[in-house]
Amino acid sequence: MTEPTDAPSTSTSSPSLLLVDDHALLRERLARALRGRGYDVRTAANADEAAALAREESPELAVVDLKMPDRSGLECIRDLREIDPATRILVVTGYGSIATAVEAMRLGAVNYLQKPVDVDDILTAFERAAAPPLAAAEKDYQPPSLARAEWEHIHRVLTDCAGNISEAARRLGLHRRTLQRKLAKHAPR
């Protein structure tokens, strides 16, 4: 078994994708659009058909509708992962909830989309799933001092009041002369 790579394949074979959805019109429209983007697409109307196709030739990618007659998309995810754990599965549904999204991810789905979806949404979801996690923020971040935060807030309110010191003082809950003294000072570091 070869190691998956993030770089595009140099071979002439196109990426294989299994599209599982009980809605025939949507399934065929997405399949046609994905074929136009260079994918080798096979389609299935339910979880049993999907498992049979995956046993014949395991797909690299799978797009699975969550709500289907007979067996659910969650069962389809489980079947596809048993057949080939390397298959990257995207779940799409018109009946999304946090609970089903969490369950789909727990079973091995790489991403979750709510319908209506188009081919760009699907490809973007697969790209995001393959991307490395976001980097952590710099450790040496220094928040502004309290004096600096106060100075910036005062100037933001003054700008919102179009430079009217009396109105800015009223909004800040300060006496007008107190605000004038604060404005006379230079910005703290």
Domain that holds residue 92: 16-130
DSSP type of residue 140: T
Question: How big is the CA angle at 140 (ends 136 and 145), to the nearest 5 degrees?
Answer: 120
* Averaged pLDDT for residues 22-43: 93
CA distance 120 to 49: 25
Q: pLDDT grade, residue 97 (50/70/90)?
A: confident
The residues pairing with 40 across neighbouring beta strands, listed in sequence order, are 16
CA distance 171 to 62: 56
CA distance 33 to 19: 12
Give the pLDDT score at 96.
73
Q: Do 49 and 125 reside in the same domain of the chain?
A: yes
* Averaged pLDDT for residues 101-126: 89
Any idea what the CATH number is for the domain that residue 163 is in?
Answer: 1.10.10.60
For tokens 């998309």, name the residue.
Answer: 73
Q: Do 85 and 111 reside in the same domain of the chain?
A: yes
pLDDT-above-70 percentage for the chain: 89
Structure token digits, residue 65: 């509708």
Q: Do 110 and 54 reside in the same domain of the chain?
A: yes
Q: Do 116 and 160 reside in the same domain of the chain?
A: no
Give the pLDDT score at 143.
77
Mean pLDDT of the chain: 85
- Does 99 map to a domain? yes
Pairwise pLDDT comparison (62 vs 3), residue with the higher score: 62
Q: Do 104 and 36 reside in the same domain of the chain?
A: yes
* Averaged pLDDT for residues 139-160: 83
Q: pLDDT grade, residue 139 (50/70/90)?
A: low
Q: Do 103 and 175 reside in the same domain of the chain?
A: no
pTM for the full model? 0.63
- Does 175 map to a domain? yes
Q: Do 43 and 124 reside in the same domain of the chain?
A: yes
Q: Do 120 and 54 reside in the same domain of the chain?
A: yes
- Does 140 map to a domain? no
38-66: per-residue pLDDT in tens?
Answer: 999 999 999 999 999 999 999 999 999 98
- Does 9 map to a domain? no
Q: Do 47 and 114 reside in the same domain of the chain?
A: yes
Any idea what the CATH number is for the domain that residue 55 is in?
Answer: 3.40.50.2300
Judge whether residue 10 has pLDDT over 50.
Answer: no
Q: pLDDT grade, residue 1 (50/70/90)?
A: very low
Judge whether residue 37 has pLDDT over 70.
Answer: yes
The kind and range of the H/E element at 177 are helix 176-184
Kindly report which listed range (57-61, 78-82, 118-122, 138-142) carries the lowest average pLDDT score.
138-142
* Averaged pLDDT for residues 110-139: 82
Domains of the chain: total = 2
Q: Do 37 and 118 reside in the same domain of the chain?
A: yes
Q: Do 97 and 125 reside in the same domain of the chain?
A: yes
- Does 1 map to a domain? no
Judge whether residue 103 has pLDDT over 70.
Answer: yes
